[in-house]
Structure 1
Amino acid sequence: DQIILRRRLPNRLDRVLEELVPYRENIKGLVVESTYNWYWLVDGLIEAGFWVHLANTPAIVQYKGLKYTDDDSDARWLAKLLRLGLLPVGYIYPKEQRAIRDLLRKRGQLIRKRTAHLLSIQNIITRNRGQSYGANDVKKLTPELVEQLLPNQNISLAVKSNLMVMETLSEAIRKIEKTVETQVRPY
């Protein structure tokens, strides 16, 4: 468990490679955590000829005896798991496929937001009318029907606002789905 290099580096590939290249012959693999900005680092390290492992952090059980959990201790723990062959890894998608994967993640995010607006409408109707309103019923609402259901103009405006956002989200979701369908071969 001898540490050869311990250093915090800026998010610049040239600096990272400058530090690693002198140890290239001794490096059996590098572990990268899946943070919000890992693509550039993994791509650069792979292109430079390093064997890169993407840590599957949710699957990693932290050692109970660790007194500290910071970047330094996490790095040592990940290195130890890699050396022992116990590192749970995630799949590193090829660069060409990542944009589609990210687009599908965006679709999921938009669906969750649309669902939140649908639930908001259901709650407003239930709160003001004392009756539940199903998701399919909400999807059939028109501005005129909202005004009939909820005569108070402030309350109906709140629901109509949710409906407008839902429609915008639905349009974006449909556009993403059409785009993905043209790029993914059918199975």
Structure 2
Amino acid sequence: MECIYCWYWLADLCQQEGIDFVLGHALYMRAIHGVKTKNDRVDSLKIARLIRGGNFPLAYVYPAQMRPTRDLMRRRNHFVRKRAELLAHIQNTMTQYNLESLGSLSRSDRRRDKDIPGHFPDLVVRRIVQTDLQLIDSYDPIIKELDKKILSLATDHDQTSFHLLKSIKGVGDVLALTILYEVGQINRFSTRGEFCSYARLVKAQKQSAGKNYGTSGARIGNAHLRWAFSEASLLYIRGNQKARKYYHRLVSRHGKSKALTIIAKRLGTAVYYMLKRREPFHEQKFLNMNMKQAI
């Protein structure tokens, strides 16, 4: 990760000085010019030949003005995941000692109304749970303050796209901000297929002599976007009768896991066209998509 941020710093410096800067995709470059002997002289020669032949795999240089907010959003999501792990640990501890569940503990008022440590008879276990609760209470104000800060920054960068993303049922501030800052500039994707591939919503087919040999490249792309669209697909279905009917149609043909994957991919396609055309989400168009087009 440190190497990535060094390249970002170099890209910003070259832009300030008016120097042309080309950033190569490390994974694809390694696959193209892997050789037995590796040193700076061999690497520079290989890169020069790739650039001259038009085969140099370019990587996207994220806009400098949006980069700090994107990194802050990723850090915020990291804190949320750590908080979720602590809540899950408390619930798992109840199961471990065969104790009755206290229900959802995500809200602070519910935690205050219940004597959670006293629910455990063992004093040492009480101390473990109490430590988890203290950490959760420490994360809550930090996450709340970060939400306010990121939301205020988003209105300065691309307020229109932010509100367009929120037109999807179930997509709130967090998911809209995640998609907005992970995409950056939608115009860098020439087709919806490129966008869905970058968001890890589709896999590459492996074929030879007209036969399929599975898929590959499932982990190449943006993991944050993949998470955002997976969450969006679940929230879109929740409390939406039309969406649930569409979901059950997919389940009857493909099963639950594949059905959610299809909806996530369809939402990715919808977001691509929404940001390209600057249009809000059209639910009827989304639900009228036939099964073959949905896959």
Q: TM-score, normalised by structure 1?
A: 0.64
The structure carrying a bigger helix percent of its residues is 2
Counterpart residue identity of residue 119, structure 2 = L
Q: After the TM superposition, list the runs of 4 or more consecutive aligned residues in structure 1 that deviate by more than 6 angstroms.
A: 69-72
Seq. identity, %? 26
How many aligned residue pairs are there? 153
* 1:111-142 CA distance string (max 9 Å, x none): 222122222222222212266x58x6232434
Distance change >3 Å, CA 163–CA 147, structure 1 → 2: closer
- The CA RMSD over aligned residues, in Å, is 3.2
Bigger RCO of structures 1 and 2 (CA < 8 A, at least 6 apart):
1
| Residue of structure 2 equivalent to 1:14 | none
Tell me the CA shift for residue 74 of structure 1. Answer: 5.6
Distance change >3 Å, CA 84–CA 64, structure 1 → 2: closer
| Correspondence 1:180 to 2:150 | yes
Distance change >3 Å, CA 157–CA 71, structure 1 → 2: farther
| Residue of structure 2 equivalent to 1:164 | 134
Of the three residues 106, 116, 120, the one matched with 1:146 is: 116
Counterparts of 1:1-187 in structure 2, within 5 Å, are: 35-58=4-27, 62-63=31-32, 66-67=35-36, 78-129=47-98, 133=101, 137-139=104-106, 140-142=110-112, 144-185=114-155, 186=159, 187=163
Tell me the CA shift for residue 149 of structure 1. Answer: 2.0
Gaps of 5+ in 2: 164-295
Gaps of 5+ in 1: 1-32
Counterpart residue identity of residue 152, structure 1 = D
Counterpart residue identity of residue 96, structure 1 = Q
State which structure, 1 or 2, has the greater radius of gyration over its C-alpha atoms: 1
Tell me the CA shift for residue 91 of structure 1. Answer: 2.9
CA distance in 2 between counterparts of 1:161 and 1:79 reads: 56
Tell me the CA shift for residue 158 of structure 1. Answer: 1.0
CA distance in 1 between counterparts of 2:37 and 2:88 reads: 41
Q: TM-score, normalised by structure 2?
A: 0.43
